[in-house]
Amino acid sequence: MGQVNWGEHGWTLALVFADGQMFTDGIATDAACVYIGNLPLTCEYEVVTTRHVRLVMKEGKNVIRIGDIELLDNGTTQTIHQVRPPNESPYVEKTIWVKQK
């Protein structure tokens, strides 16, 4: 289960896995892109369109994740993440987040 909250100052994410573990992080976008979490990451973001944002996460100089986040309609968000783990093969994650009323 997961929840994402977007706002004018950035976003936060919370995930609860089937084994009970939880993961949370976020990004503040007021002055620049600032990663909020316990990993040594930096970030950059680009507003592609009014409904599409691209986030680039780096560990040092290495890009480890490029996330394209797009609002498809007023209740549905699509994310496509190109993940580049340092010691593993790259892969793509695609998710659809639907707002529950």
Burial 79-88 (b: 16+ CB within 10 A, else e): bebeebeeee
Residue 68: per-residue pLDDT: 94
**What domain range is 64 assigned to?**
2-98
Tokens of 59: 């560990």
Distance between CA atoms of residues 31 and 41, nearest Å: 17
CA–CA separation, 101 and 94 (whole Å): 23
Interatomic CA distance for residues 12 and 5, integer angstroms: 5
Q: Domain tally for the chain?
A: 1
Q: What percent of the chain has pLDDT over 90?
A: 42
pLDDT in tens, 51-63: 999 999 999 999 9
Radius of gyration of the chain (CA): 14
